[in-house]
Amino acid sequence: MIRTFQRPIKRIVVKLGSSQIADAQMRPKTEQLYSLAEQISQLRKTGIEVVLVSSGAIALGMGELGETKRSMELAQLQARAAIGQAALMRLYSELFRKVELKCGQVLLTWDDFDNRGRFLNARHTLEAILVKGVVPVINENDTTSTEEIKFGDNDKLSALVASFLHADLLVILSDVDGLYDNDKKVYDEIKDITPEIEGMAGGTKNIHMARGGMKAKIDAVKIATHARTSCVITGGHIKDVLVRVVKGERIGTYFIEKKEKILDGDSEHEFIRSHFKNSKGG
């Protein structure tokens, strides 16, 4: 039995955490990322637009410097983000070229969501990139952020992007197969995020690679589903995972979107700002 989404899937946001980009030695997972590029190419050919929200700059920056232990100093993290972001985009450019696609880098900060003019400009820029058939690759601008990874390894960032682009689906690719219950079984479908569901979500154990864990992902899902974007949390290692999720295969945990009216204009901007402020620091 396949899943039935609330509406046709025409635009998806795919979030990749650092553990999907680099291995324990901070080397890029080239084979897995190439498979992802191939899947995005397949989806594009069926008329589905794909936006990537990709972590991994700090991890790849550490790899470029031969490091495996993450610094706790802001300036050191920003330096590695600057080094790694160049490596990350070079990697994406090479992989997408192999599947006859182009990609474009978009770096965002909280100010791009806080200021209405910048909010609208970011949306218009992304829409213009998509119209050209190019895959936007979004990351937080860690090089200039004044706090360490404000968005929680980009989980919240992916939800905010999905919200302001009115995406039909947010797919969060993780190193686990979904949200597990007490019996270590993956929840197939969740309609409401109750305190019990939130209690199943923990933080990350891999402090040198990522930040946030399942708790940050659930916080992101709450934002996206209230903006009428369905969500799936699933394992990035699963073969053809994106194509299979979009086809409705019951992979990972599916979070059903809320049915509130889609916000627009100033109310939409305030919705996004308020959700970031209410969950800041996660």
Q: CATH number of the domain that 96 lies in? A: 3.40.1160.10
- Model confidence at 84: pLDDT above 90: yes
Residue 43: which residues within 8 A CB-CB, separation 6 or more?
Answer: 12, 50, 242, 243, 246
Specify the pLDDT at position 281: 40
In this prediction, residues 177-204 reach a mean pLDDT of 86
Q: Which amino acid is at 278?
A: N
- Under a CB-based contact definition with an 8 Å cutoff, are residues 230 and 255 in contact? yes
3 falls within a domain: no
- Model confidence at 86: pLDDT above 80: yes
140 falls within a domain: yes
Q: Rounded to an integer, what is the distance from CA 113 to the centroid of its chain? A: 16
Token readout for 260 is 């509130």
Specify the pLDDT at position 208: 45
Among the listed ranges 27-31, 62-66, 119-123, which one has the minimum average pLDDT value?
119-123
143 falls within a domain: yes
Specify the pLDDT at position 212: 56
- Model confidence at 49: pLDDT above 50: yes
Higher pLDDT, 48 or 270: 48
Specify the pLDDT at position 142: 67
Domain count along the chain: 1
Q: Which residue segment(s) compose the domain that 268 sits in?
A: 11-278
HSE-CB of 81 using CA atoms within 13 angstroms:
20
Length of the chain: 282
Burial of 44 (0-12, 13-18, 19+ CB in 10 A): middle
Specify the pLDDT at position 207: 46
5 falls within a domain: no
The verdict on pTM exceeding 0.85 is yes
CA distance 46 to 69: 42
- Model confidence at 148: pLDDT above 70: no
61 falls within a domain: yes
What are the backbone dihedrals phi and psi of residue 26, each rounded to the nearest 5 degrees, phi first?
65, 30
4 falls within a domain: no
Higher pLDDT, 247 or 145: 247
**Which helix (DSSP H) or strand (DSSP E) does residue 131 occupy?**
helix 116-131
Cross-strand bridge partners of residue 13: 51, 170
109 band by pLDDT with thresholds 50, 70 and 90: confident
Q: How many other β-carbons are positioned within 10 Å of the β-carbon of residue 66?
A: 8
Parallel/antiparallel/unpaired status of strands 189-190 and 230-235: unpaired
48 falls within a domain: yes
- Model confidence at 37: pLDDT above 50: yes
- Model confidence at 235: pLDDT above 90: yes
Specify the pLDDT at position 129: 98
Q: Which amino acid is at 232?
A: V
27 falls within a domain: yes
Q: Which amino acid is at 5?
A: F
Residue 75: which residues within 8 A CB-CB, separation 6 or more?
Answer: none
- Model confidence at 67: pLDDT above 90: yes
Question: Would you tell me the crossing angle of helices 155-164 and 213-226 to the nearest 10 degrees?
Answer: 10
Residue 147: which residues within 8 A CB-CB, separation 6 or more?
Answer: 74
Question: Would you tell me the crossing angle of helices 74-98 and 57-64 to the nearest 10 degrees?
Answer: 100
CA distance 197 to 3: 21
Mean pLDDT for the chain overall: 88
Specify the pLDDT at position 216: 87
Specify the pLDDT at position 151: 59
- Model confidence at 92: pLDDT above 90: yes
CA distance 73 to 148: 9
